[in-house]
Amino acid sequence: MKAYNRKIVVTLIAAMLTMSLAACSSSKENGGAASSAAPSASESASVEPSPAEEAADPMGRFDPPIEVTAVRSVATTMKFENGDTIDNNAWTKLYEKELGIKLKYLWAVDPSQYEQKLNVMMTTGKLPDIMPVSGAKMKQLYDAGQLEDLAEALEKYGSERTKELLSKDGGEGLNSATFKGQLVGLPLNPGSTDTAPLLWLRADWLKKLNLPEPKTMDDALAIAEAFAKQDPDGNSKNDTYGLGIAKELYGFFAGLEGFSNGYGAYPGIWVKDASGALGYGSIQPEMKTVLANLQKLYAAGGVDQEYGVKNADVLIQDVNSGKLGMLYGAHYMPLLFQEGKNKDPNFDLRPYRLPSASGEAAKPQTAFSVAEYYVVRKGAEHPEALVKLLNAFNTVWPKEQYPAEEIGVNGAVEKWQYALVRGSNPTANLDNFEILKQALEKDDESVLDKTTGQPFIFKTIKDYQAGDNLGWGYSLVFGPGGSQELLADYNRNNGFKPNEFLSAPTEVMSQKLASLNKLELEAFTKIIMGSAPIDSFDEFVANWKKLGGDVITQEVAAWAASR
């Protein structure tokens, strides 16, 4: 996600993180890894396992205890209480008591300094046992022969829950960390489903202007023009906009991905081209069609004429003030627009499936979501320690004994952040939607996991259904007709178009992609605004290839061939 989305990210984390972690707890309490962490009295009295069985216990304790070194980043916003520190907290105590792992941080720095500090450490050859790293850094360490193969450790020591979570993305994360048959990192994959764009429209404006719900791209174009020209707010002023676009063109908020997907174009990701080879979506012929239609729409006044200078904060204000009623964006859009509903009870922004130019169902594109991997240095005595730390995160612990999973509910300190190794559920929001759907349809709270944010979301939606508009935002995400309902339907019907390059950046990609992205932004902005002809797209493609794109495409092809 780009820098302009910083405030959006804060909002999203506050609203959604509870749900993401909740999915782990809900499943674990129904037959997951927790059973191995807290055996009953009868289980404890059973026949002692053999040494071989003990060695393969996902939650087995090292005896005698071992010391494991690590490095990490610690944000300045991370809070501690009761004398806790990053070196001494609920998680470090849990690691030592339950797993026999004494965690020793060689250093912990602000995220902005982490990469540089790690680079310096790499030059010395003295690496810690465990490191969180980016995909590019993982590849660099692998190429230097500095990483352990974790395949055997994961197979042997991974808990049932850990293996389940790592497989819920279809193997996407693990495959991205596998080189020549060696698994050199454990991915933290929040999942790609939530990155899919949807179309968001003021349904009350559609009704006022007697416009149908959009099924085709022609419908969408007509709606954009009508919203800009036909006074949908009824104030007799020319003060509303058509399609809202972020000045960066792409991103989870007001990006062009969803609009492009309606024409079968997939900018910014790698998909199979006409020859069957992986090609960069932004340079495919379909993208020229996208730009041609945007140029016409802009000239007709159907695109906000000032989009090129508006950041996300301004666009959010435009929506909340009733000036903008059409944009593409991710599932959490209503949480940014609650203010609009508070100001105007008639404010009826809704999510819609992507319209299509072809008549066939458009496929929303999804991003490759793994941003971090946990790796083990080559030669570490106990690579399985990493797997056990991940098992521990994926286990529900008694809060009275280990208050390690507080996740910000009612202002609690977010102690889950203290964990060195964290797990994630790639389908967390979809899982929670299904649980909430069941609870809402049956008016039955017993299916909810009361240790998570599910009861809060349930009550908020029920309050909205009873007339409290303060619950509108959450209802439009998790309630009937909300964004998660649409994403669940896409998911059930194989309706997404995923990025097919599932790897760390290639060498030339790391060097050239930023400049190529800048080239793309400048060329596309000029075309949309009409200061460059549509045929300048062909010149852009030629320049993109010449300035490094062809080499990157060759690298991606080599990666694909190696799979």
Instruction: Dump the DSSP string for 301-334.
Output: T-B-TTGGG--HHHHHHHHHTTSB-EEEE-TTHH
* Helices and strands in the chain, H and E counts: 25, 14
Express each pLDDT in 490-526 by its tens digit: 999 999 999 999 987 888 998 999 999 999 999 999 9
Tell me the torsion sign for CA atoms 117, 6, 256, 299. negative
Enter the pTM of the model: 0.84
Q: What value does the mean pLDDT of the chain take?
A: 89
Q: Residue 503: what pLDDT? A: 85
Question: Looking at per-residue confidence, does 466 or 49 come out higher?
Answer: 466
Question: Looking at per-residue confidence, does 44 or 188 come out higher?
Answer: 188
Express each pLDDT in 392-421 by its tens digit: 999 988 887 777 766 555 556 788 899 999
- pLDDT more than 90, % of the chain: 79
Express each pLDDT in 295-331 by its tens digit: 999 999 999 999 999 989 999 999 999 999 999 999 9
- Identify each DSSP E strand in 363-465 by its residue range: 365-366, 372-376
Residue 368 pLDDT > 60, yes or no?
Answer: yes
Contact between 54 and 114 (Cβ < 8 Å): no
Same fold, 31-39+46-193+371-418 and 195-366+498-562: yes
Query: Around 92, how many Cα atoms within 13 Å sit in the side-chain half-sphere?
Result: 15
Q: Mean pLDDT, to the nearest integer, of 181-205?
A: 97
Residue 1 pLDDT > 80, yes or no?
Answer: no
Superfamily holding 195-366+498-562: Periplasmic binding protein-like II (3.40.190.10)
Residue 386 pLDDT > 70, yes or no?
Answer: yes
Residue 171 pLDDT > 50, yes or no?
Answer: yes
Domain residue ranges in the chain: 31-39+46-193+371-418, 195-366+498-562, 439-497
Q: Which one of 3.40.50.2300, 3.40.190.10, 3.30.460.20, 3.40.50.300 gives the CATH number of domain 31-39+46-193+371-418?
A: 3.40.190.10
First to last CA, the chain: 27
Q: Mean pLDDT, to the nearest integer, of 44-61?
A: 59
436 φψ region: left (φ > 0), alpha (ψ -120 to 50), beta (else):
alpha
Neighbouring residues of 23: CB distance < 8 A, sequence distance ≥ 6: 425, 427, 428, 429, 431, 432
Q: Residue 357: what pLDDT? A: 98
Q: Mean pLDDT, to the nearest integer, of 193-212?
A: 98
CA dihedral angle for residue 376, residue 379, residue 382, residue 386, rounded to 10 degrees: 0
Residue 253 pLDDT > 60, yes or no?
Answer: yes
Rounded distance between C-alpha atoms, residue 245 and residue 524, angstroms = 13
